[in-house]
Amino acid sequence: MILRRYQTEAVEAVYRHLREYETNPCVVCPTGAGKSLIIAQIARDVVELWNGRILILAHVKELLDQAVDKLVAVAPGLWHCIGVYSAGLGSRDTDHPIIVGGIQSVFRRARDLGRFDLILIDEAHLIPPDGEGMYRQFLDDARAVNPNVRVIGLTATPFRMKSGSICSPENILNEICYEIGVRELIVQGFLCPLRTKAGAERVDFGGLHVRGGEFVAGEVEDLMDEEHLVHAACAEIVEQTTDRRSVLIFASGVKHGEHIVRRLNEAHGFECGFVTGDTESGERDRLLDRFRAGDLKYLCNVNVLTTGFDAPNVDCVALVRPTKSPGLYYQMVGRGFRVHPGKTDCVVLDFGGNVLRHGPVDQIRISDPNTAGNGEAPAKECPACRALIHAAYSICPDCGFAFPPAETRHLETQASSDGILSDQITRTEYEVGEISYHVHFKRNDPSAAPTMRVDYRCGLATSFSEWVCLEHTGYARQKAEQWWRRRSNEPVPDDVDDAVDLARSGALTPTLAITIERKPGEKYDRIVSHVLGPRPPRIDTDEGAAKYAGISEDQVPF
């Protein structure tokens, strides 16, 4: 199995971080981006290139199964090197070079499992922030066996609702070493396009209380389980899914979910499966197998089928629950991200006001809860077709409805106060926290000249990219030369590989801030200006030689 370019870049970023820093890195990739393949490639390299030993930790057995399947797919010759330690899977292997383990099963068994060079944690946002969690206990014991063991995390949502970023100096994971966004992968065809619709029945969520950063569960279920709301939601789900094959429903509680299942069956004649945390394991597996196979069109669940559930055939997600958590919102919608044969897009039916609360699903911007503002999310509902679209649209792209000027002016004013979109074209300055450089090849066009892609990370989960066309000719080359000369005293490279090597060595001035231009309806944001720091010295000077001296690329990364 061949990794996609961004998956390869993620692996390389991990190794680079392990070589150059003593901290523990985290990779951030959207749901459906193939984190399991990144995990599998790292495990393969540990065994085949460095004769090391790696532990892959996860919290649910579905993730353990996925990890083993992807490991065998990437490196079939390694099947005899893979052991599984999981009570749920009935296996307690301890001697293999690659151990795939459930945290619930291994957290008191670090000494029994022996020495590891790397510990890789899937869905790393589930690591608890305090010192009492199973991950903390296991890692403390693992360091007693090998004080030099390094930890790598992978997640789609690099923060916790209560405590903020999962990466900080005092946490298990310290820095994000690689990140790629939802919109970029949708544009490239690696994730499925999404369409959103609001529910026709309006629900007032103003009376709900918040506890621990989330709506109080009992209040949410009582509200959403009202008879007229369940009847309206089920009727709309059936109406909107006549051309859908696999519909995943998120209910607000067990009683609410049972009500939905009963209504779909009795009033509309559709079988709907139901999965909760108490569903017996065999019954759950049977329902999920039928759903994945297309034998069961509707499947309702309560707080179960989010992280770790993989069903690429899902082409409709119905959110019949509100949430204050952008991470949970992301995980629910993410069940429809994956591409699948015959699937052209995924419809998200939002009965919980989540899109308006957190932003459009095809431009999900997850904010650090410690720094996020309280302004309106950059989305609005079309009154004609109920599509949920970006707040800056004056004409609905789905049905052509023209918003009245008064509403447009009101929205523009409101958005401006919140730092969202204030006009048809907006410019926003972002402080740059981290820059990375990569060789980029145009997808599906091997004859196209490569470019240098420059990624700017601006905050917890916000990043922007630009492409420098050093191997092109004409005006594109002229622009690339100007770009380079503004940032470096080194001669302009003719080769993109050389440019990336120089950039990674520190030959370019740091970019302190960038200004982003946005136009509604366009696929890409555009970087229109930069705030640059001082240019570094030439490499062939004494000062430059000292500055750029570093660790050999041949050094083993753990």
Higher pLDDT, 193 or 546: 193
Q: In what order do the strands lie in the sheet with 316-319?
A: 194-198, 346-350, 316-319, 247-250, 298-301, 272-275
- Under 8 Å between Cβ of 210 and 244: no
Q: Going by C-beta distance under 8 Å and a sequence separation of 6 or more, which residues neighbour residue 54?
A: 42, 43, 46, 47, 97, 98, 99, 116, 117, 118, 119, 120
Give the C-alpha separation, 292 to 310, whole Å.
9
For the chain, the residue count is 558
Q: How confident is the model at residue 496 (pLDDT cuts 50, 70, 90)?
A: very high
Least confident interval from 72-86, 160-174, 374-388, 479-493: 374-388
Closest CA to 436 of 506, 492, 495, 537: 506
How high is the pLDDT of residue 552?
A: 43
CATH code for the domain in which residue 129 is found: 3.40.50.300
Per-residue pLDDT band at 258 (split at 50, 70, 90):
very high
From 61-75, 290-304, 379-393, the region with the lowest mean pLDDT: 379-393
On whether both 489 and 344 belong to a single domain, the answer is: no
The predicted pLDDT at position 410 comes to 31
| 557 is a domain residue | no
Whether residues 304 and 199 fall in one domain: yes
What's the domain count of the chain? 3
Pairing verdict, β 526-532 and 175-179: unpaired
Give residue 473's pLDDT. 86
Find the largest Cα–Cα distance for the chain. Answer: 81
| 228 and 163 both lie in a single domain | no
Question: Which sign does the torsion angle of CA 537, 539, 541, 545 carry?
Answer: positive
Decide if 453 contacts 438 (C-beta within 8 A).
yes
The helix/strand/coil state of 287 is helix
Whether pLDDT at 89 is above 80 = no
Assigned domain for 305 exists = yes
Residue 521 has pLDDT above 80, yes or no: no
Within a domain: 443:
yes
Give the whole-number percent of the chain exceeding pLDDT 90: 38
Q: Which of 14-18, 85-89, 190-194, 457-461 has the lowest mean pLDDT?
A: 457-461
Q: What's the domain range around 269?
A: 187-372
**Count of beta carbons in the 10 Å neighbourhood of residue 163:** 16
Main-chain phi, psi angles of 388, to 5 degrees? -100, 115
User: pLDDT over 70 for what percent of the chain?
Assistant: 80
In a domain, residue 526? The reply is: yes
Which token pair is 253? 């509680």
Cβ atoms of 245 and 219 within 8 Å: the answer is: no
* Range in 135-139, 189-193, 400-404, 497-501 with the lowest mean pLDDT: 400-404
pLDDT greater than 70 at residue 548: no
Q: Report pLDDT for 81.
A: 86
Distance of CA 314 to the CA centre of its chain: 18
Residue 406's pLDDT is 40
Q: How far separated are the first and last CA of the chain, in Å rounded?
A: 25
**Do 141 and 198 lie in a common domain?**
no
DSSP code of 536?
P
Q: What is the mean pLDDT of residues 484-510?
A: 91
Tokens for 528?
Answer: 């229109």
> Is residue 541 assigned to a domain?
yes
- DSSP letters for 307-349: TT---TT--EEEE-S--S-HHHHHHHHHTT-S--TT---EEEE
Spatial CB neighbours of 131, under 8 Å, sequence gap ≥ 6? none
Mean pLDDT, rounded, for 208-212:
86
* 201 Cβ neighbours under 8 A, 6+ residues apart: 228, 229, 232, 233, 236, 351
Q: Which two tokens stand for residue 87?
A: 């009570």
Looking at residue 93, its amino acid is: D
- The verdict on 251 and 168 lying in the same domain is no
The predicted structure's pLDDT at residue 375: 46
Within this chain, do residues 59 and 167 fall inside the same structural domain, yes or no?
Answer: yes
Identify whether the C-beta of residue 220 lies closer than 8 Å to the C-beta of residue 251.
no
pLDDT digits (tens, 9 = 90+) for 352-387: 988 888 776 545 444 444 444 444 455 666 666 666
Give the mean pLDDT of 263-286.
Answer: 94
Q: Are residues 67 and 155 in the same domain?
A: yes
The better pLDDT of the pair 284, 2 is held by 284
Please say which residue of 159, 180, 201 terminates a domain.
Answer: 180
Tokens 């030689």 correspond to what residue?
545
- The rounded distance, in Å, linking the Cα atoms of 307 and 328 is 9
Strand partners, 431: 513
Q: Is residue 420 part of a domain?
A: no
Could you tell me if residue 377 is inside a domain?
Answer: no
pLDDT at 265: 96
Tell whether 175 and 322 lie within a shared domain.
no
Q: Is 156 in the same domain as 240?
A: no
- Mean pLDDT of the region 293-311: 88
- In whole angstroms, give the CA distance from residue 520 to residue 514: 20
The more confident residue out of 111 and 548 is: 111
At 104-118, the pLDDT tens digits run 888 888 888 999 999
Residue 137: Cβ-neighbour burial (10 angstroms; 0-12, 13-18, 19+): middle
Mean pLDDT in residue range 490-506: 91
Q: Of the residues 350, 372, 394, which one is the last residue of a structural domain?
A: 372
Least trusted range by pLDDT, from 140-149, 314-323, 379-388, 440-449: 379-388
Least confident span in 164-168, 175-179, 187-191, 408-412: 408-412
> Among the three residues 325, 340, 372, which one is the final residue of a domain in this structure?
372
CB-based contacts of 87, cutoff 8 Å, min separation 6: 102, 104, 105
Query: Which ranges of 216-325 would DSSP assign to H, the alpha helix?
Result: 217-224, 227-240, 254-268, 281-293
Whole-number average pLDDT of the chain? 81
d(C-alpha 35, C-alpha 70), whole Å: 10
User: Pick the residue with more confidence: 188 or 244?
Assistant: 244
Residue 230 is predicted with a pLDDT of 95
Is there a single domain that holds both residue 242 and residue 367? yes
Q: What does the pLDDT read at residue 368?
A: 44
Is 151 found in the same domain as 58? yes
Same domain, yes or no: 529 and 463: yes
Question: Do β-strands 54-58 and 118-122 pair in parallel, antiparallel, or remain unpaired?
Answer: parallel
Q: Is residue 416 in a domain?
A: no
pLDDT given for residue 391 in this prediction: 61
pLDDT category at 158 given cuts 50, 70, 90 is confident
Contact assessment for residue 32 and residue 191, using Cβ atoms and an 8 Å cutoff: yes
